[in-house]
Amino acid sequence: MTDVRRPVHVEQPGEWFATPSLWADMDLWHEQVAEIRRSHRVLAVDLPGFRPFWVLTRHRDVLAVSRDNEHWLNTSQSVLGPDEAWEKMLAAGIPEPRTLVHLDGTEHREHRKVTNDWFKPAAVKNRQPRIDALADVFVQRMRDLGGECDFASDVAQPFTLRVIMDIYGVPEQDEPLMLELTQGVFGAADPEFMGEAADAQARAVDSVMRFIEYFNALTEDRRRHPADDLATLIATGQPGGCPMGEAERLWYYIIVATAGHDTTSYALSGGVEAFLRHPGQLWLLRDDPDLAFKAADECIRWTSPVRHFMRHATEDTEVGEVLIPKGGRVLLSYPSANRDEDVFRDAMTFDIRRGDADRLISFGGGVHFCLGSQFARREVRTMLSKLALALQSIAPAGPAQWAQSAFVSGVKHLPVRYQFR
């Protein structure tokens, strides 16, 4: 399904994890990384422009490190990027990242509590009628588009964006701005998302600056006019009984605004891309609606939209039989761990009936386990179930395209041709 393969030249295996353009051909990526996983449970990487790091390629190591907060911390550098990008960000006056992911220990726990109740299974279940209604809007949009659309940008993106902005309290007219800025943060290296910016770093800095401006105004508004939404909780939250710091508040807004939709959107568009390669599997859902749970997990395992997070050793610590020195950093490769043959039977096969899909590690593990996993799973299974019931046929109408980002990425364009029943 990928466009004609371009030859790629890779000097070192570590580039597969750090170079944005190498995420544009996921068949090739998985082929290459499967070999790395077989030869290197833990891969030492020393690339120009990056401080050295190690990649954990196996499921059990990624899980073990995620669950061990004594020996591994997140710190403000939980996302891999060229060292120069970090310097430029600080020089531009952007506060060091302090999202939930970047916090550790009590600080992390207290900040997570501010919004946690909204993401618990029972609370998310109560939103099912709204998720259904929004999914219906976008199935209808497919009908209105008359048999051909770009499933990624016409359906997956706006649907997942609206579900999260609905609880956030961001008005619908601001959704395009949220999407543009999210693409600037997560996908800055993709030429399509770079806009007028001189380079990826300038694009990311500009996006964060505009987010800050937007969320400062939102904070003022919600403090004056509290509403029953997430924006009010973040504006007025008191982690540990104290007002939230300015940087923490801004980054809290940013993580919910960004992580809440691009991830799920890529799971959905990449899931449908996999169904196009295995057409029979979508119709299995029509015959057995209970399969929707497994199908959603399989789409999220298969696509693994969050490509990594980093952890830093608090002392000399062994992982995968390699000793990582104090201060050393490891990259948790979720897409690699999700194809680990020791955990998933026929790991390289997309199969919505598989019995082990719920061992997926796409949402991480331990205390940082994805706050929004309940939403993501519901959104994906709701949309898949509706498509399976409504569609008569669906097929590719052109090549799929993957976003070029080593952090959060997936199928950004998916031209499809379809008929309704």
Kindly state whether residue 259 participates in binding ligand HEM, applying the rule CB under 6 A: yes
The residue among 230 and 291 lying less far from ligand HEM, judged by its C-beta, is 230
Amino acid at 28: L
Taking CB under 6 A as the criterion, which residues in 70-129 touch ligand HEM?
Answer: 100-101, 112
Beta strands in 198-351 (DSSP E): 308-313, 317-319, 322-324, 329-333
Kindly state whether residue 384 participates in binding ligand HEM, applying the rule CB under 6 A: no
Candidate list 95, 366, 398, 415; residue touching ligand HEM; CB under 6 A: 366
Helix axes 157-168, 246-259, angle to 10 degrees: 140
Q: Residues 25, 2: contact at Cβ < 8 Å?
A: yes
Residue the block writes with tokens 């997560």: 186
The contact mask relative to ligand HEM for 160-179 (x = CB under 6 A, - = no) is ----x---------------
The residue among 362 and 409 lying less far from ligand HEM, judged by its C-beta, is 362
- What's the min distance (Å) between Cβ of 27 and ligand HEM? 20
Kindly state whether residue 365 participates in binding ligand HEM, applying the rule CB under 6 A: yes
- What's the min distance (Å) between Cβ of 57 and ligand HEM? 16
Q: Considering only 189-197, 255-263, 280-288, 389-397, which stretch makes contact with ligand HEM by CB under 6 A?
A: 255-263
Phi-psi region of 10 (alpha: psi -120 to 50; beta: other; left: phi over 0): beta
**Four-CA torsion 23, 27, 33, 37, nearest 10 degrees:** 140
Kindly state whether residue 254 participates in binding ligand HEM, applying the rule CB under 6 A: no
Candidate list 194, 376, 383, 416; residue touching ligand HEM; CB under 6 A: 376
The residue among 40 and 307 lying less far from ligand HEM, judged by its C-beta, is 307
The residue among 337 and 388 lying less far from ligand HEM, judged by its C-beta, is 337
Beta bridge partners of 402: 411
Q: How far is CA 46 from CA 55, 329, 330, 343, 398, in A?
A: 11, 12, 12, 29, 38
Kindly state whether residue 306 participates in binding ligand HEM, applying the rule CB under 6 A: yes
- Count of alpha carbons within 13 angstroms of residue 68, beta-carbon side: 16
Kindly state whether residue 363 participates in binding ligand HEM, applying the rule CB under 6 A: yes
